[in-house]
Structure 1
């Protein structure tokens, strides 16, 4: 099955290099140099993952990410951000991006991130659903790993693959405190650094917003200060 990846960057040399490395891995690549081109591509092509540069001549990567999520697309989004710009990273994650990588970057590292996100999406997105029908129900919250469906009080929650992975991990450990490090290792499958706590924190906040939860007095995902997070219900 063909895997289609959208690459958006106004620096043609960067877009060409990224496309070359992805094509060498067997991916089909759709290159865009402006936000307008990217929006048109999203509307006309079947995309499996998007790589979005933050800085574009006619808009920014955030607006494209927002358009992807507002359009009901849950495929992974990786943001390309300026080196050390924590604001860009948090803004992208808040809008539903799944990962980010800072410029300058090594193409092979980006390819590895792409593969990791696609594995997670296919595992939790139903393409490689297991046969055990794993479902967790917690006080009105129902999450089905195999169908990648999540309902809260009978209403569907539209979650990105990363958000689903976090919630599933918390549900599996219901009543137990899960540290940010444990979450990061489980969901991202990479080494944890102190700065990665912001990544986890933003995704938790986004999950709470979608669940209609108050950060001060959440019903389901509770913060155990200095330790981690716990799902109750």
Structure 2
């Protein structure tokens, strides 16, 4: 079956070049000039989605979605966040920026891969084929499957429901607390600096006082999780570098 791809970028030249490239490889490509148009196309095909009995869930018409991060109206990050609530269709981000914080932000909202501009045709096709192969083989990437339910020790994170549960039951977290915990849990053993956490979760430029904001949320998370800062089971501080889980 011909793979169907949604491509959204506000640069008409990039849309044309990538569309021709993918079409020449046999893919069916639909394009959108901004985030609002991309989301509308996604919603339209969702109404005609089929049901995947093997994975007990509906799946979208599109096999892959390619989103420019910075677009008029809704950004690619906002579009991806909505899509991830509805579907496990893989998302590839295109961006002119390649900073680690931008990559972390993209992965946090549910992106699967990240391709900085300018990119070569060979690299684009390699990323597309890898995502499609993984999606068709597993019905979604391993990262996506793990997003549904994550375990950190005896803590269970319900990603789609944005809830967590400990041995004694549900644990109430604020939205920012949950996002910080999810960022660390989805990247076990990776050390995040306060700057990386702040820019990924708060989606704002890091200022001098931002480090205190992150520190307060980490402290509150530890308290609610029953974690001892002197001998943590969950969130560890790596002095001079940041925070990690694992």
Q: Fold conserved (TM > 0.5)?
A: yes
Per the TM alignment, residue 58 of structure 1 is displaced from its structure 2 partner at its CA by 1.5
Counterpart-to-counterpart distance in 2, 1:68 and 1:164: 15
Residues matched between the structures, number: 159
- Residue 62 of structure 1 is matched in structure 2 by 77
Structure whose CA Rg is larger: 2
- Residue 137 of structure 2 is matched in structure 1 by 123
- Residue 19 of structure 2 is matched in structure 1 by 19
- Name the TM-score, length of structure 1 as normaliser: 0.57
Per the TM alignment, residue 95 of structure 1 is displaced from its structure 2 partner at its CA by 0.5
Per the TM alignment, residue 104 of structure 1 is displaced from its structure 2 partner at its CA by 0.9
**Residue ranges of structure 1 left out of the alignment (5+ in a row):** 126-147, 149-159, 172-201, 209-213
- Residue 142 of structure 1 is matched in structure 2 by none
- Residue 37 of structure 2 is matched in structure 1 by 37
- Name the TM-score, length of structure 2 as normaliser: 0.54
Q: 2:68 aligns with which of 48, 53, 61?
A: 53
Is this contact kept in 1: 2:6–2:30, CA < 8 A? yes
Per the TM alignment, residue 87 of structure 1 is displaced from its structure 2 partner at its CA by 2.2
Per the TM alignment, residue 164 of structure 1 is displaced from its structure 2 partner at its CA by 3.0
Per the TM alignment, residue 83 of structure 1 is displaced from its structure 2 partner at its CA by 3.3
Is this contact kept in 1: 2:147–2:186, CA < 8 A? no
Is this contact kept in 2: 1:35–1:59, CA < 8 A? yes
Residues 1:78 and 2:123 aligned together: no
Per the TM alignment, residue 85 of structure 1 is displaced from its structure 2 partner at its CA by 2.4
Counterpart-to-counterpart distance in 2, 1:2 and 1:108: 20
User: Structure 1 215/206 Cα, relative in aligned 2: closer, same or farther at 3 Å?
Assistant: farther
**Residue ranges of structure 2 left out of the alignment (5+ in a row):** 46-60, 152-181, 189-219, 227-232, 239-243
Is this contact kept in 1: 2:185–2:245, CA < 8 A? no
